[in-house]
């Protein structure tokens, strides 16, 4: 699943990288009201004018949903959850911060039958661009706060790299309410309180700064604190 908003400089390359991963797949892209040319490119993908090819030269199935207005990453993910059909559901941001070459490590615990949910952690030692200091501090504090309330020991609750058995999505998907970045603590609270087996694996992370298009702000961090409490206490 690829939620996307105003990522025209990266969406072509990211879809190419996803297509090259050696798995049978369908890519579900939800455009969240982009106005920078992303929408037009995705429209061409949907019509077949632009084709996404795998490493063997075969066209990859891409389902494109074009939302009429920007509502946030959470809303885009909730829409994508309705559309997925695969046995394993993987979230992939449309920028180039998260590397599809990590898919094998991410899905292995599910394929081996030991995990229901896998988080790709940016803090477990994978290849990294140096994090923005206050973003790193904020992520660690939010993860700690979430861990305390949900009785978990995650290192990266806010990661954009999450993988699920489809049955988990069928269970929690209809209950999700967050429209913006609160979707991360909401998902974590709901998979934790339902007792799903959560694993973490290190991933590469090529973080960008605001000049490169980063969208999350300190306001989203404050909102995340509220969402951690809200979704721990109420479902």
Q: How confident is the model at residue 218 (pLDDT cuts 50, 70, 90)?
A: low
Residue 117, pLDDT above cutoff 60: yes
pLDDT value at residue 209: 64
Using CA atoms, how far apart are residues 175 and 169, in angstroms rounded to an integer? 10
Give the pLDDT mean for 116-137: 82
Give the pLDDT mean for 180-191: 92
CA dist 38 → 41, 106, 109, 168, 235 (Å): 5, 27, 34, 30, 35
Residue 205, pLDDT above cutoff 80: yes
Contact 106, 92 (CB under 8 A): no
pLDDT value at residue 135: 76
Q: Backbone dihedral region of 72: left (phi > 0), alpha (psi from -120 to 50 degrees) or beta?
A: left
What order do you get walking across the sheet with 117-121 strand by strand? 88-90, 162-165, 117-121, 198-202
- Neighbour count for residue 77 (Cβ, 10 Å): 23
For β-strands 162-165 and 61-66, DSSP reports them as unpaired
**Number of helical (H) and strand (E) elements in the chain, helices listed first:** 8, 7
Residue with tokens 């394993």: 88
Query: Each residue of 47-88: pLDDT tens digit?
Result: 999 999 999 999 999 999 999 999 999 999 999 999 999 999
Give the pLDDT mean for 203-226: 69
Which percentage of the chain shows pLDDT scores above 70?
Answer: 89
Domains and CATH numbers, the chain: 2-233 (3.90.550.10)
Residue 210, pLDDT above cutoff 60: no
Using CA atoms, how far apart are residues 225 and 228, in angstroms rounded to an integer? 5
Using CA atoms, how far apart are residues 112 and 88, in angstroms rounded to an integer? 12
Give the pLDDT mean for 17-23: 96
The residue among 217 and 163 whose pLDDT is bigger is: 163
Residue 30, pLDDT above cutoff 80: yes
Q: Which helix (H) or strand (E) holds 62?
A: strand 61-66
Give the pLDDT mean for 28-47: 97
Task: For residue 211, give the DSSP letter.
Answer: G
Q: Which of 66, 104, 65, 56 is nearest to 203 (CA)?
A: 104
Give the distance from CA 27 to its chain's centroid.
13
What length does the chain have? 235
Give the pLDDT mean for 112-130: 88
């Amino acid at each position: 699943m690829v939620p996307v908003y105003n990522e025209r400089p990266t969406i072509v390359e990211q879809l190419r990288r996803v297509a090259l991963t050696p798995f049978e797949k369908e890519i579900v892209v939800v455009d969240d009201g982009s106005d920078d040319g992303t929408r037009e490119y995705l429209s061409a993908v949907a019509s077949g004018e632009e084709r996404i090819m795998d490493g063997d030269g075969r066209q990859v199935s891409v389902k494109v949903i074009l939302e009429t207005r920007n509502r946030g990453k959470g809303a885009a993910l909730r829409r994508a959850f309705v559309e997925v059909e695969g046995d394993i559901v993987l979230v992939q941001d449309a920028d180039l911060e998260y590397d599809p070459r990590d898919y094998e490590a991410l899905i292995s615990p599910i394929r081996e039958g030991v995990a229901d949910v896998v988080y790709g952690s940016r803090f477990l030692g994978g290849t990294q661009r140096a994090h923005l200091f206050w973003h790193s501090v904020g992520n660690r504090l939010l993860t700690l706060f979430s861990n305390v309330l949900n009785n978990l020991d995650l290192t990266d609750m806010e990661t954009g790299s999450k993988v699920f058995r489809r049955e988990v999505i069928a269970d929690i998907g209809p209950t999700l309410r967050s429209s913006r970045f609160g979707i991360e603590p909401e998902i974590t609270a709901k998979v934790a309180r339902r007792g799903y087996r959560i694993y973490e694996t290190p991933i590469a992370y090529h973080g960008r700064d605001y000049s490169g298009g980063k969208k999350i702000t300190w306001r989203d961090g404050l909102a995340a604190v509220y969402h951690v409490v809200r979704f721990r206490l109420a479902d």
